[in-house]
Amino acid sequence: MDLKLLLDWRLHLLVIVTSMFAEWIGILRMPLGPGTLLLLPLLYAFVIGVLFNPHLFSGMGNIIPKPVSHAAGPVILIAILPFIAKFGSTIGPAIEQIIAAGPALILQELGNLGTMLLALPFAVLVLKMGREAVGATYSIAREPNIAIISDRYGLRSPEGVGIMGVYVVGTMFGTLYFALMAGYIASLDILDIRALAMACGVGSGSMVAACSAALAEAVPASRDELLAFAGASNLLTYATGLYISLFIALPITEWMYKRLKGNSHVEARHES
Amino acid sequence: MKANETAVDQFDAEALKELRPENQLGKTALVLAAVCVSAWFSNLVNGAPLLDALPGMLILYAMVIIGLVIGRLCPFYLPSVAWVSLISILATLPVFPGNGWIIARLAEVDFLAVVTPVLAYAGLALTGREFSMFKQTGWKLILVALLVFTGTFIGSAVVAHIML
């Protein structure tokens, strides 16, 4: 990618103005049923970004030309790094609490298997998806998981299309969805807030960010502890999540897919 | 058909390149400076005045660069986010010399303010391909993806809840 485009002043200036405006609006709380939805500045920043996107409204090409918009893609990955560094700095001071919670932190990785229990049957039985469903639902579709699928099936296989679809959705909406979901589930007060913080760690950097920030806003008193747990969990996701998805999640998904497909064939025959 | 395939090829190649910011350290260092400036200004509203936050932002910048350099030199592959995170953890451990000073400087940088510009970049970066994917068959994948996220989150939270 051309350096001139990556450093285009219009892009960065627009981002600065957008971010400052979003920060100025601040955090809004919306009661919803038994819980509360937390709207964070990052949500407004995303929406404003989309509104200025030249691919959606061609008139915006005058402010941000399309090539500059393409350059913003790689910029995201770099922009998340200072945040990751800030995030890590919450783990160091809390190292003793994290070690004390060690077994929970390591075993919650197995909770990733919840993905296929919920999403795989829905994809196969309700949406009638094919092999795409294996790629789409065996994991949370972050970079290490893509590497596994690309290694096993190739990225242009149906499995590859499935995982890239979820990856793109995750990149676009994952951050927002995690923030809304985490804040909401926290406000329901069913699960230990530290358990929710660890669960935040399953996502990509920005998902973890939004998720744990939402939790910290929901329970400001334990802010530092929550950030530390989410960060530690995310680190373990990178360290151990790869092996869990390769040796446990993918084989189980394959097995369940065959079972589910078998059943739906039988059902189809009954109908005809 | 052929045009379609080349588009996918390009997408694959781009996606892979994007996944490894440590491969182009010089470029990354400059872009990183630009995004740090964005975060610095974003932090102005609810975080701290520019001068107060400057040391903290410089520390974050240095941590990222150190992490990327290690990721580049290291013989086995770990994502750059993992290295950056490890560096930052080490520098803030109670045994690390000067950790108190580092933590105090970083306290001037608001956690949420740093991530706000990232989402602004993300909104601007969406391509026509992504918009059209959502207009056509995307709704199935969106539903599945949201279920994937919900399932993973709740699955992990329940296991952790039982273990705590």
Q: What is the DSSP string of B103-126?
A: HHHHTTS-HHHHHHHHHHHHHHH-
Name every chain B residue with its beta carbon within 8 A of the beta carbon of A117.
151, 155
Count CA atoms within 13 Å of residue B56 on its CB side: 27
The mean pLDDT of A193-210, rounded to a whole number, is 83
Measured in degrees and rounded to the nearest 5, phi and psi for residue B163 equal: -75, -25
Cβ-defined contact of A64 to B12 (cutoff 8 Å): no
The answer to whether the CB atoms of A19 and B113 lie below 8 A apart is: yes
- Nearest chain A Cα to B138, which residue? A165
- Whether residues B141 and A41 touch (CB distance < 8 A) is answered with no
Residues B8 and B26 in one domain: yes
Which of the pair, A175 or B117, is modelled with greater confidence? B117
The Cα of B110 is separated from the nearest Cα of chain A by a number of Å equal to: 9
Instruction: Give me the percent of chain B exceeding a pLDDT of 90.
Output: 21
Touching B: A residues 206-245, CB under 8 Å: 206-207, 209-211, 213, 216, 227, 231, 233-235, 238-239
Q: In this model, does residue A271 exceed pLDDT 50?
A: no
For residues A189 and B164, what is the distance between their CA atoms, to the nearest angstrom? 16
- SS3 label, residue B47: coil
* Mean pLDDT of the residues in chain A: 81
User: Residue A143 pLDDT > 80, yes or no?
Assistant: no
pLDDT value for B14: 52
pLDDT of B5: 40
Please tell me whether residues B140 and B99 are part of one structural domain.
no
> Residue A128: is its pLDDT beyond 70?
yes
pLDDT at residue A13, rounded to an integer: 92
- Identify the DSSP state of B23: G
Q: What is the pLDDT of residue B4?
A: 43
What is the share, in percent, of chain A residues with pLDDT greater than 70?
90
Structurally, chain B folds into a number of domains equal to 2
Contact A202, A112 (CB under 8 A): yes
Residues of A within 8 A of B142 (CB-CB) are: 169, 173
The CA distances from residue A258 to A1, A160, A174, A248, A265, in Å, are 42, 18, 28, 16, 11
CA angle B60, A18, B109 (to 5 degrees): 25
* DSSP element (H, E) containing A32: strand A28-32
Which pLDDT does position B2 carry in this prediction?
A: 37
pLDDT reading at A25 higher than 90: yes
Q: What are the structural domain ranges in chain A?
A: 1-24+31-88, 95-272
Interface test with B, best of A69, A168, A211 (most B CBs within 10 A): A168
Rounded CA separation A157/B95 (Å): 49
When pLDDT is cut at 50, 70 and 90, the band that residue A201 belongs to is confident
Whether residue B103 is found in the same domain as residue B156: no
B-contacting residues in A 105-164 (Cβ below 8 Å)? 105, 107-119, 122-123, 127, 129, 133, 136-137, 139-141, 143-144, 146, 155-156, 162, 164
Contact between B126 and A173 using a beta-carbon 8 Å cutoff: no
Cβ contacts of B155 within 8 Å, gap of 6 or more: A110, A111, A112, A113, A114, A115, A117, A199
Across the range A114-122, mean pLDDT stands at: 85
Which residue in A11, A43, A170 is closest to B124 by CB distance? A11
Q: Does A53 touch chain B (CB under 8 A)?
A: yes
Which one of A225-229, B11-15, B20-24, B50-54 scores highest in mean pLDDT?
Answer: B50-54
Reported confidence tier of residue A239, pLDDT bands at 50, 70, 90: low
Q: For residue A270, is pLDDT > 70?
A: no
Please say if the pLDDT value at position A272 is more than 50: no
pLDDT of res. A265: 56
Q: Which of A12, A48, A80 sits opposite B37 (nearest CB)?
A: A12
pLDDT of residue B99: 86
Contact B152 A115 (CB under 8 A): yes
Q: Which one-letter DSSP state was computed for residue B76?
A: S
Which residues in chain B touch residue A227, judged by CB atoms under 8 angstroms apart? Answer: 111
Tokens found for residue B93: 């451990």
Task: Give residue B9's pLDDT.
Answer: 44
Residue B134's pLDDT band, with cuts at 50, 70 and 90, is low
B14: buried, middle or exposed (CB in 10 Å: 19+, 13-18, 0-12)?
A: middle
Considering only A105-109, B32-36, B149-153, which range has the smallest mean pLDDT?
A105-109
**Mean pLDDT confidence for A89-95:** 79
ipTM over 0.85? The verdict is no
* pLDDT exceeds 80 at position B64: yes
Same domain, B14 and B82: yes
Residue A264 has pLDDT above 50, yes or no: yes
- Does one domain contain both B34 and B83? yes
Q: Given a cut of 70, is residue A177 above it in pLDDT? A: yes
Residue A244 pLDDT class (50, 70, 90 cuts)? confident
Q: Note whether B13 and B80 are same-domain residues.
A: yes
Three-state secondary structure call for residue B79: coil
Nearest CB neighbour to A23, from listed B32, B81, B113: B113
**Min Cα–Cα distance to chain A from B43, Å:** 8
Please list, in sequence order, all residues whose beta carbon lies within 8 angstroms of the beta carbon of residue B16, skipping any fewer than 6 positions away. none
- Domain interval for residue B153: 128-164
* Chain B nearest C-alpha distance from A76 (Å): 6
Residues of chain B found within 8 Å of residue A231, distances taken between Cβ atoms: 85, 89
Residues B111 and B133 in one domain: no
Distance to chain A for B51, nearest Cα, Å: 17
> Could you report the per-residue pLDDT of B6-33, keeping only the tens digit for each?
444 445 455 545 456 667 788 888 999 9
